[in-house]
Chain A
């Protein structure tokens, strides 16, 4: 026990020196220019020197030597106390009078100056633990002064802790405070020993404890902002030493035992193998022990991390990853709140995606993409303390709104989650810890590790999710494509025009059903692979070819009329519109041709044209009729006078010549009266008297009236009168006049051109009307006259004479009867006049009934 005490007595000062020296390196490495760091280093230096001097004193061979060393070392006590006080003044910023510190140093100098005398120590004595000084008269003063300095330092630390709002700062101060108190308690043992009490001197132990506590403060709470991390390696070296000792001891013991009993070398070999088996177990056990006791937080965190890694390995679910991360960190760090922010895909603005705090799990925007904070996190590898936002110059542009939001989230730490490519994939915002303690180095290491792992995991999950989404989107797109294709196909098939897809060689590659129908085929297969020109009349091949060439140049050609062919070779009128189908690079690959059967449309157009012409004619006739009526009315009165007076004069005339002239006047007046009568007839001044009549009867009556002239003019009349024709409601005389007029025209045409001919008259019922046709074998009407024959005063009779009103009157009569009169003629072959007269309503109904009866039969 005595040997052990002596050794401890000697070793302690050396431990103090080494400890203090190591700390100096850390402190100076931190901030060599900072006065606070320099002062703290100076204090540590004083401790180191003090320890060295005590060691020298303690190893002295005799009390004289020890006394000499004691005189040298004793000024270190007040000096180190003053330096420490100086440090605390600077460290805490507590204001003191300017003269106070210099005075304290002066007092130190005074103590140093009397250290060589017997005022402080009268001599040395030997005590059970070693040498101990015999106090002199001034010794209490030195003790008091040193204690006063340290107590003032404690007071400054206490005051600073009370006024500081920073938990970090308060913590640091608490550590230093505790260290100083222990140091003072240790010092008290020294003083009591001097007073003669049987105690062991404790100042050195107190100092060592102070150094230990300071180290913890530096390591755990960055005292003086020194971020020193004791490497694991150091701990493992320690562990290795701990293992080596029992290993060597056991080995030597066993070797010694076997040496005594004289065993062979294989025993050593077996011993080594046995130890080799035991050692790894022992190593692991010590490793765990080191981790657990020296790095308790880290040990816990590593356990948490292990669990986290296992949990997240298989997670590809983005949502689950985020929540796992938030949960893990909240639990491991005992944090009040953690928010994970992630960028929105389009805008890149950061919103809360996961939060441990339900109040802030909304998806409102926290940080904009262009926020200085986001940019800083992107650029920096550091995590950001909320307090540092006001320190970092690049963050001056942060908006008040963003600051407010961060405040609302009670932000303490901000960490950027970065992918391997350096992209900011998320931002982690940590609130305060439940304990209100600051985040320690271990906390930050855990956060770093989790964030590094998570940023990769989240990125992978994001990519996985994106790829999943991509696959789903592709599927959806394909589905839509299919639906669209289907829709297009339906549209393609339901179009009422024929659509054909024709390749550049003119081969049909696709058609819709309508194409099959309008060309009279049975199925699409009959058309596919055929040349498109097989569907076009040969006379139009050239035009169609040109059309297709033009299409390639112009893109689209619309509305080309041509003659198309049916499967049976028959022709029909079609309208073609052609466009070019191009590939993605814009090269034409085929034509799309839309064919429309326009036969009916053409017919309708012709009909409409004809109706329009008739309408025009009717209009013209009506106008002329008006005119004629007016003229006739004006002429009638004077004409009547001319006729009456010429007749009277004729009756009285005796002179032959005068009579002859009067006859001429009278005849011309009568002729004029006839013209006027015709004009009045044309103008329909006369009311028609309609009654039921049989058309065949009217035809027969008209033919009877001209029977003699036919014979003499060598005209053969052929009638084909439909029996049982329903009756029509007509003015018998007017219709007869129409027929006579047509017959007379035919008669004159045939007689004058050929001296006779054939007149065919046919009646038939057609739907709701009766058609009467008069076909002669005359010279025909020139095409250019065809549309004028019903115009009033139009006549081709020349000298034969004619007012040109006959057919106009016929037109008027037929139109008035609701019918239609028209002409077809082929020059040189003859002319046919058609008269369509509507059936009376009852007749129409009757006709329908009959038709039905016939159908039923």
Chain B
């Protein structure tokens, strides 16, 4: 009898193999027991969990060059929203969704910044969570990946080199673009160019999308603002002063954008690490301006 049951289960598995599961990010069909999408390497657990709710999750992406603070921002945001008992709350769906905030806060509590996000998509931290807000009667399913800045700019420079990024940008509902406020303050024009390239890329990728990027909400966040406090006073004026090219492209092409300033470390010091040179370390954790951009994105979600 045991043997008969085993045969029946095997046939079930074969039937499941025939019924492929589409990747949540790129829609490519995958076998049921695959861990990552064979096309874009996004974790298929996202697709499994999304299927159980029958609604497509909202997707937000945090974009910006390497070292701008995407991981710290996302990790801090998730931790704050999962701890505060206020009108905006996030609850992780699955243990893997807590990893990003756990690793970020563990590093910050040791007075370190988290290590660089690897370029390989299957090693990124993905977050699948439920958002509860006063605006939505039902919890909203949400997916947030922590992408590597270098991979992102490889995709911008050579479109479709990272299929996961290409697919994600095509279907995400809003973006948080991080810009290093301290670099702008010192007169570096690289940040301005980086962001302009990214915005141009977004404009071009929205060709076939139902909602063009011009109408999708875009929060432009000056990161590390604790080290250039004038950011906090008027982020839009700060952008006008230090990133005129970026301001102009936003005004011309993106109707729903807003500038924000955010900081996590109250102050930083330089540390010398053998073999790696000088490294910036946070001297304390005092988040400021972290929730506001996300809250604005949620309020401006396309209906």
Q: Do A and B bind each other?
A: no
A residues neighboring B (CB under 8 Å): none
B residues neighboring A (CB under 8 Å): none
